[in-house]
Chain A
């Protein structure tokens, strides 16, 4: 009996824009040979709101709430990149207390965002328990945000020159409590995931991104540090009071999904270290500098740059001396990371796509702007 070989051809498969593991409206057009990904074309723009165009028709304070809606898992980072640029243009500096409080807000945002990452990443790899745990541990942070800013997600906590408001009574104790509450929970995640055989098989050696290529694609944050490049804007271009705080820049040299996961797990512990130092040293005083009611920065241009949970978040503001900016540009890490996805996906199996995409932790709000 002769065996007939079935002729094969490549197939195009659309993953998304609505898909449980694309974490927002992202469409990946995959070219497949059987199970193997030959190529990938990401299609973006489904969430485009034209924030940069809107910015040209708003006053400087009016723009701030729009920035919340870029990386909506870390609104304080977006706020700060914008506020930094405007403060540089105006020559304004936030009071010392505001600088410490900003760092606390930023690092709480980082932990909340990384917890969301661990939760969804584990869920993508079928560890549903960890999804619920991650959201559970994120909840007390959301309560802290609500207590301080009145909002849980889109906080608009910052202002040009400082903060919208000082921390309320009881906040310091609650924040300290959280700093002792979280580490045992992170140990638990380690036991559930980091040593879990299924989790390891699905993440170790998968989705390799070599360090030179990570830089060449403009990758940043945990995606860059997961490829072994020791670059963190908090250390290399320090802002606020990061240069006075002790923390380690975490890297792994495995360049794979496990490496990117491991970096974020360690970064949460470093963020707790930073928050504790800030709480210990928190000076008394004002939380906002004297800023004119109508903000009209002198003509010129300035660039704000923040290490957001996802990486290099930049904001370029050009002033013509008027009450509205001539141009406001947001450089968002996820945009560059989605651009690098085809490189990370090629050659891997379709089952790995979800793991690789999840390991990069993109937020489509900042990709599409």
Chain B
């Protein structure tokens, strides 16, 4: 899988690491949708989750794709700036991407281009700020 991705996407696969059943790759945002589509064609048809974390330098958005046939996990990350970040949406590839992408927007403020309904999901529409940023203080 890794060889295929490297052959097809070259330096858009910024780093890669095998960890047990997981193949962890960092993908350049410009190739994210194409990598997702290629992975889906290779049997990674189940999008288990999209989430993110604040590394203090950037926001790392993490996609977990699972192949039912092989039991492998493809854990793809893409980096976005901490403020005003944008990434391409995977909703055209996986229907299940719609809600977790809304949650990443709600909690971290990353907007997804091409998303059909880019609104907050868990918090109210008039909420200010994005609580899972490290700079957001709980009271």
Contacts and interface: CB of A to CB of B under 8 A. Distances in A.
A and B, one complex? yes
B7 interface: no
Given A215-B45, A314-B48, A237 B71 contact: yes
B132 A336 contact: no
A299 interface: no
Interface residues of A, number: 35
Nearest to B55: A326
Interface in B46-60: 46-49, 51, 53-54
B73 interface: yes
Interface of A: 44-45, 48, 50, 52-54, 57, 213, 215-219, 229, 231, 236-237, 303, 312, 314, 316, 318, 326-327, 329, 331, 335-336, 338-340, 343, 368-369
Interface stretch (B27-35, B79-87, B117-125): B117-125
Contacts of A44: 121-122
B48 A53 contact: no
Contacts of B62: 316
Given A216-B45, A326-B53, A329-B49, A236 B94 contact: no
A303 B75 CA distance: 11
Those 10 A-B pairs whose CB atoms lie nearest each other, nearest first = A218-B96, A339-B99, A45-B122, A331-B49, A327-B53, A217-B96, A48-B122, A329-B51, A216-B95, A231-B68
A216 B131 CA distance: 29
A236 B68 contact: yes
B122 A369 contact: yes
Given A215-B46, A314-B48, A45 B123 contact: yes
A216 B94 contact: yes
B36 to A, nearest CB: 12
6 contacts: A53-B132, A53-B136, A219-B96, A303-B64, A303-B75, A329-B49
B128 to A, nearest CB: 15
Given A216-B96, A316-B49, 10 more contacts: A215-B46, A216-B94, A216-B95, A218-B47, A229-B68, A237-B21, A303-B64, A303-B73, A331-B49, A331-B64
Contacts of A215: 45-46, 68
Interface class of chain B by DSSP: mixed
Nearest to B51: A329
Nearest to A327: B53
B135 interface: no
Q: Which of A57, A326, A329 has the most CB of B within 10 A?
A: A329
A340 to B, nearest CB: 8
A236 B48 contact: no
Contacts of A219: 96
Nearest to A331: B49
A327 B104 CA distance: 14
Nearest to A312: B48
Contacts of B123: 45, 48
Contacts of B95: 213, 216-217, 340, 343
A200 B94 CA distance: 33
Contact of B96 (A318, A339, A368): A339
Nearest to A219: B96
A304 to B, nearest CB: 12
Interface string B65-102: 00010010101000000000000000000111011100
A354 to B, nearest CB: 22
A44 B98 CA distance: 14
Given A216-B96, A237-B71, A339-B98, A368 B122 contact: yes
Nearest to B46: A215
A314 B122 contact: no
Contact of A336 (B54, B68, B99): B99
A45 B138 contact: no
Interface string B101-139: 000000100000000000001111000000110001010
Contacts of B124: 45
B89 to A, nearest CB: 14
A299 to B, nearest CB: 12
A343 B96 CA distance: 11
A52 B131 CA distance: 10
A316 B51 contact: yes
Contacts of A48: 122-123
Contacts of A368: 122
A318 B75 CA distance: 14
B62 to A, nearest CB: 8
A54 B68 CA distance: 33
B48 A218 contact: yes
A87 B71 CA distance: 20
